[in-house]
A and B are shown apart, each in its own frame.
Chain A
Amino acid sequence: MKTAESERTTAVSTLDVRDDFPILSRHIDGRPLVYLDSGATSQKPAAVIDAISDYLSEHNANVHRGVYALAQESDAAYESARERIAAFVGWEPRTTIFTKNVTEAINLVAYAWGRTNVGPGDAVLTTQMEHHANIVPWQVLCRERGAELRYLEVDERGELSLDQLDRELARGDVKLVTFTHVSNVLGTILPVAEMTARVRAAGATSLVDGAQAVPHMPVNTAALGADFYAWTGHKALGPTGIGVLHGRTEILEQMEPFLTGGDMIASVDFDGATWNELPFKFEAGTPPIAEAVGLGAAVDYLSALGMERVRAHERKLTGYLLDRLREVPGLRVVGPPEAENRGGLASFTIEGMHAHDIAELANRGGVCIRAGHHCAQPLMRRLGVAATARASVGVYNEPVDVDALIDALLAGRRVFEL
């Protein structure tokens, strides 16, 4: 029994980087921390923590203004981070805009692009599997502009139909198609390049939410072909407070600013102002400088690991997770059945236990998982579940983390006398 288990465990390759993450040496009630909530936010390697600390200890100054040494060092650190962050996903720095998070990046597009390009009789097309961040801004825009918001349906396997996309585009009123790269609930990896090609051919604009993709797999935004691609730092081993929006030059140049004020202007007089060049036109006020430095260190760290290796590691680990979840009686996983077609997460229900109680009982075993609607209430209704528990992996997870989860779930069922 023990032998079979260890054989199975060692069959999954490991990146073996747990020691790079200081927080993972913590214990919760005497048990080693098992962190399976990277879909919500990732833990940070020492390289990121040290880079932020070093920047604040040695170089801190505001950017784009000063002539003194610290200010020049800050400028260099901030713009160097932008270059590495853009290169990490195959995009140009000049059209790589720092925002607060993906939510702000999407709102930027909804406001600064949407208000000019979406009008009465037009449609915005999104999907039933979106995070609220990729639904609500479009509901607000469409209500304000007299446009219609429509949804691509999610099927039983947690996938979309490209035929339905074609049918929607053929109606001729779709101005924007906006969709997630990897679903934060189902784990589904969408065929982004195929979808953006169809959107482009129909003369519409595309926006992709890459929050759950960039930290976990090789992403080449140029090859994916989206007009806008947004992702966030804190899920990608970086700090909170920094998101990234990549956009096509010709579109960004035509757009009016989103937030206005300092830093985003070329000149201001009492009667008006002119806008700064890209990307600064979209970065009003003092930007997240230490955060950019931290995210720069994070993409350096991920690049050194190699994103192909990261994906291979997480795919095997997700396969192991799916296999072992099947051992728990009454447990049902939502989304694609195979690890090939999903990102590093699994959402599930257990008959007779509410998701909140599952997460509470997992915590007794030192295991951190999420429970609830995952900011995707329309999808939960579509799936016919009130809430799910979700385990999501990162580079630092190993098969033993999955084993701890399964032990905790089985123990939880015993508490509930199931």
Chain B
Amino acid sequence: MDDLYRDYILDHYKRPRNFGELDPHDMEALEHNPLCGDELGVHIRVKDGRIEDLRFHGHGCAISQASASIASEELKGMALEQVGELDADWAIELLGIPVSATRRKCALLGLKVVKGAVTGDNSWPVGSG
């Protein structure tokens, strides 16, 4: 099996979970990966301080799409406070594949856009490790 393009990565790429529009929504953001022009947006619906539902939209490579898709399943139901504390390590561990320096931004685009929508801080997530 391929190290990077594992079955579940390709599955999430080809059949991304929680993709599309969500209307009405309470929060939204749109981000670009300046290196490749990829675009990823998110709509978030909030209830009782937690993410009730969310949808990603946009286009990108297998790594960025799968990363957003996998993260979307974890983010549903998460407290907004906790979302604000998520770091790069969280996204990369969740993805579960070795990510080279050049593909790191692909892997982090999903988290970047969600944190941007929730906290207004749209800087690239950093890792503790």
Chain A residues proximal to chain B, CB less than 8 Å: 352-357, 360-361, 371-373, 377, 380, 386-387, 415-417
Contacts and interface: CB of A to CB of B under 8 A. Distances in A.
B53 interface: no
A12 B60 CA distance: 37
Contact of B36 (A353, A355, A417): A355
A356 B37 contact: no
Contacts of A354: 38, 59-62, 65
Interface of B: 2, 4-5, 10, 14, 35-39, 59-63, 65, 103, 106
A371 B36 contact: yes
Given A372-B37, A373-B37, A387-B38, A415 B59 contact: no
Given A354-B61, A355-B36, A386-B38, 10 more contacts: A354-B59, A356-B38, A356-B106, A372-B35, A373-B36, A386-B60, A387-B37, A387-B38, A416-B10, A416-B62
A84 to B, nearest CB: 37
B117 to A, nearest CB: 21
A355 B62 CA distance: 10
A394 B68 CA distance: 38
Contacts of B63: 356-357
Contacts of B59: 354, 386
Contact of A387 (B4, B14, B36, B103): B36
A416 B37 contact: no
B103 to A, nearest CB: 7
Contacts of A353: 62
A357 B35 contact: no
Contacts of B62: 353-354, 356-357, 416
Nearest to A361: B5
Max count, chain B CB within 10 A of own CB: residue among A356, A361, A386: A356
Contacts of A415: 2, 5
A355 B61 CA distance: 7
Contacts of A355: 36, 61
Q: Which 3 pairs between the two chains have the least Cβ-Cβ distance? A: A356-B61, A354-B61, A373-B37
Q: Which of B4, B37, B39 gathers most chain A CB within 10 Å?
A: B37
Contacts of B37: 372-373, 377, 380, 386-387
Nearest to A380: B37
B5 A416 contact: yes
B39 A357 contact: no
Given A357-B5, A372-B35, A386-B39, A417 B106 contact: no
A330 to B, nearest CB: 14
Nearest to B3: A364
B36 to A, nearest CB: 4
Q: Which of A353, A377, A380, A415 has the most chain B CB atoms inside 10 A of its CB? A: A415
Residue from B36, B39, B59 having most chain A Cβ neighbours under 10 A: B36
B108 to A, nearest CB: 14
Nearest to B58: A386
Nearest to B35: A372
Contacts of B5: 357, 361, 415-416
A357 B4 CA distance: 10
Contacts of A360: 4, 103
B1 to A, nearest CB: 9
A354 B38 CA distance: 10
A318 to B, nearest CB: 25
A371 B37 CA distance: 10
23 contacts: A354-B59, A354-B60, A354-B61, A354-B62, A354-B65, A355-B61, A356-B38, A356-B103, A356-B106, A357-B5, A357-B63, A360-B4, A360-B103, A371-B36, A372-B36, A372-B37, A373-B36, A373-B37, A386-B59, A415-B2, A415-B5, A416-B10, A416-B62
A372 B34 CA distance: 10
Nearest to B60: A354
B61 A357 contact: yes
Contacts of B2: 415
Nearest to A371: B36
A373 B37 CA distance: 6
A341 to B, nearest CB: 26
Contacts of A356: 36, 38, 61-63, 103, 106
B110 to A, nearest CB: 15
A148 B29 CA distance: 32
A339 to B, nearest CB: 27
B99 to A, nearest CB: 11
Contacts of A387: 36-38
A386 B35 CA distance: 12
